[in-house]
Structure 1
Amino acid sequence: MNRSIFLKNSVLAAGAVLSGNAVLGSTAASCNSNATAVETTAPFNLNYAPHDGMFKNLAGNNFLDQIRFMYDQGFRAIEDNGMAARTPQEQEKIGNLLAKLGMQMGVFVVDKGGNGANTLTAGKQEHIDIFLKGCKQAVEVSKRCGGKLATVVPGDFQRNLPLDIQNANVITALRKGTEMLEPHGIVMVLEPLSDTPDLYLRNSAQTYMICKAVNSPSCKILYDMYHMQKNEGNLINNIKFTWDEIGYFQIGDNPGRNEPTTGEVNYKNIFKFLHKKGYKGILGMEHGNSQPGKEGEKKVIQAYRESDKFL
Structure 2
Amino acid sequence: MPKFAANLSMMFNEVPFPERFAAAAKAGFKAVEFLFPYDYAPAEVAGWLKENGLVNALFNLPPGDFAAGERGIASLPGREQEFRDGVAKAVEYALALGTPKVHCMAGLVPAGGDHAQHRALYIENVRYAAQEMAKHGRMLVIEPINHRDMPGYFLNTQAEGHAVCKEIGLPNLKVQMDFYHCQIVEGDLTMTFKNNFAGIGHVQIASVPTRNEPDEGEINYRHIFKLLDEMGYDGFVGCEYRPRGRTEDGLGWFREIPCPLSSKEC
TM bucket, shorter chain:
0.7 to 0.9
Partner residue of 1:46?
2
Structure (1 or 2) with the larger CA radius of gyration: 1
Deviations 1:164-219 (A, max 9, x none): 44332211111111221111112121111112341110010000000111211332
Measure the CA separation in 2 of the matches of 1:174 and 1:58.
35
Q: Among 183, 205, 219, which residue is 2:159 paired with?
A: 205
Partner residue of 2:58?
107
Measure the CA separation in 2 of the matches of 1:207 and 1:142.
23
Partner residue of 1:93?
47
Alignment partner of 1:137 is 2:89: yes
Partner residue of 1:11?
none
Work out whether residues 84 and 108 of structure 1, in 8 Å CA contact, stay in contact via their aligned partners in 2.
Answer: no
Measure the CA separation in 2 of the matches of 1:118 and 1:81.
11
Secondary structure of the 2:75 match is: helix
Q: Could you tell me which amino acid in structure 2 is paired with residue 68 of structure 1?
A: A
Q: Could you tell me which amino acid in structure 2 is paired with residue 145 of structure 1?
A: L
Deviations 1:239-277 (A, max 9, x none): 122211110001100111011112111000011011011
Q: Could you tell me which amino acid in structure 2 is paired with residue 283 of structure 1?
A: V
Work out whether residues 82 and 109 of structure 1, in 8 Å CA contact, stay in contact via their aligned partners in 2.
Answer: yes
Measure the CA separation in 2 of the matches of 1:142 and 1:310.
34
Partner residue of 1:3?
none
Partner residue of 1:66?
23
Report the CA distance between 1:289 and its aligned residue: 1.1
Report the CA distance between 1:130 and its aligned residue: 1.2
Measure the CA separation in 1 of the matches of 2:14 and 2:187.
34
Question: TM-score, normalising length from structure 2?
Answer: 0.85
Change (3 A) 1:266 1:184: same
Change (3 A) 1:59 1:178: closer
Change (3 A) 1:49 1:118: closer
Alignment partner of 1:155 is 2:111: no
Unaligned 5+ segments in structure 1 are 1-44
Partner residue of 1:270?
224
Work out whether residues 91 and 145 of structure 1, in 8 Å CA contact, stay in contact via their aligned partners in 2.
Answer: yes
Q: Which one is further off, 265-274 or 192-201?
A: 192-201
Secondary structure of the 1:134 match is: helix
Q: Percent identity?
A: 26
Aligned residues: 255
Work out whether residues 18 and 48 of structure 2, in 8 Å CA contact, stay in contact via their aligned partners in 1.
Answer: no
Q: Could you tell me which amino acid in structure 2 is paired with residue 109 of structure 1?
A: N
Secondary structure of the 1:223 match is: strand
- Higher relative CO (Cα under 8 Å, sequence separation at least 6) belongs to 2
Deviations 1:94-151 (A, max 9, x none): 34336xx3x43111111127985864334x3x31211111110011101221112111
Measure the CA separation in 2 of the matches of 1:81 and 1:151.
9
Measure the CA separation in 2 of the matches of 1:269 and 1:117.
31
Partner residue of 1:226?
180
Q: Could you tell me which amino acid in structure 1 is paired with residue 143 of structure 2?
A: E
In terms of fraction of residues, the more helix-rich structure is 1
Q: Which one is further off, 146-155 or 277-286?
A: 146-155
Change (3 A) 1:155 1:85: same
Change (3 A) 1:113 1:211: farther
